Amino acid sequence: MLTVTGCAVLLLVRPLFDPPRSLPVMVLVHGQEDYINPMSSTLLFGEALAEISIQTKVRIIPECHHYELCLDLMDRHRKFYSHVMNIVMETVKSVS
């Protein structure tokens, strides 16, 4: 299941009852200019996932604000659409 949340996190997960070793790579996407959630939160979350053996990648999008990550996916002409969609497609291909 692919989930893009308003808190600038992109996760690919399987059901919660699967052991962590069976989870695909989790990709955390954060806008560098996010004024809602500090980048340090995403980095710490990535480190916490790695500590419990969940393979994690963190992607930082320069000049991107909090809401642009999700809102720009709604219109392919928006500034960050291609950047975010490339991360999504790269992630999908890596687990296919």
pTM score above 0.75: no
H/E element, 81: helix 81-95
For the chain, which residues make up each domain, given as ranges?
Answer: 27-95
CB proximity list for 34: less than 8 A, separation 6 or greater: 8, 64, 65, 66
Nearest to 21 by CA among 48, 53, 46: 53
pLDDT digits (tens, 9 = 90+) for 17-75: 555 556 777 889 999 999 999 999 999 999 988 888 888 889 999 999 988 888 888 89
pLDDT at 69: 83
Mean pLDDT for 87-92 is 86
pLDDT of residue 9: 44
pLDDT in tens, 1-12: 444 444 444 444
Query: Rounded to an integer, what distance in angstroms lies between the CA atom of residue 29 and that of residue 77?
Result: 20
Q: In a 3-state reduction of DSSP, which class is residue 85?
A: helix
Please enumerate in sequence order all residues whose Cβ is within 8 A of that of 76, keeping only pairs 6 or more positions apart, or say none. Answer: 82, 85
